[in-house]
Structure 1
Amino acid sequence: MNKAFTKESDGDEDDDAPAASPIPVGSKNYITTGGYARLRAELLQLIDEERPRVVEVVHWAALNGDRSENGDYLYGKKRLREIDRRIRFLTKRLEIAEVVDPGVHAGSDQVFFGATVTYVDDLGDERTITILGIDEVDTSQQQVSWISPVARALLKAREGDEVSLQTPAGPRQLEVLAVRYPLPSA
């Protein structure tokens, strides 16, 4: 195809779009009640507070004349695109979200979505992780997505079970030491 008919990016459309974690085909977008509430609060904050504030700044900047060298106008328009992109992303993800209360498994020793699992690997390293939805994971808090390899290996295992985890360095054995759940939502 001739290069004249290919679209070139102007550098600010989708280059900095957040990469959405893919949901496996045929799977649901599981999310905890707390995760759903956080995403919904972020969406409402963007719609009700941040977007109107930025629109006001852009409107003010547009009234000042020359838009080509107006930093407030240029930055504001870019920020509006970012906000609108995030609003679309959050709206789509919340529409397809399957809210799960992990508290229904409180007292169980089997690993399901929402569990906090303590395990030890075959090298003696002990770790504690919480298995959450794709859109609510914070790896700095030892949270992993339910589609991650370690979560898939641990799901449905019970305390005392050993499971195999395939890693690039070869298979590893994990022993489940403890399984905890939050209290059920009211």
Structure 2
Amino acid sequence: MKKLCFATNNKHKLAEVSQMLQGKYELLSLQDIGCTVELPEEQDTLEGNSHQKAAYVWQHFNVSCFADDTGLEVEALNGEPGVYSARYAGPQRSDSDNINKLLESLKGQPNRKARFRTSITLILDGQEHQFEGTVTGSITEGWHGDRGFGYDPVFMPDGYTQTFAQMSAEEKNKISHRGRAIEQLVSFLKAL
């Protein structure tokens, strides 16, 4: 079984992706490869951040890896919070603070269209590949559900009557931005 590092310390993302890979690859975390530093995310695009994180792992640990960066892009807020989604309400990276700030920013706003976008950079034996997944939807007026993480309690995908936080992990993974990007990654890896 081929080893592949997912360059993240986010246990929720790791669990989600492990479930999607379903034993096809041995998925290693940053902790598994001995990486204890906070990976740099200094770029102003999702693609730039995913590349920077994957390149760091490849250069410092010589392990094939992939990194992702995800952003929630809200139409009425000109694409905010976007690349700053995790730190929208400040450096403490609090999901509840971020959601509260988002709901406050959209108070009285009739246009609640939004999309989640995930950019993945894979560095496999030194070769770089990019994948992207998106899902469109809208921001609800309040919190709904207690599953998932991040903005899941306020994001309702188009065509559904539940937020991501009300769906099972299996339901969410079938339609989520990360799920779509990971599907592309897995298809690519299987075709090798």
TM-score band w.r.t. shorter chain: under 0.3
Task: Give the TM-score normalised by the residue count of structure 1.
Answer: 0.27
**Larger relative contact order, structure 1 or 2 (CA cutoff 8 Å, min sep 6):** 1
Q: TM-score, normalised by structure 2?
A: 0.26
Structure number with larger C-alpha Rg: 1
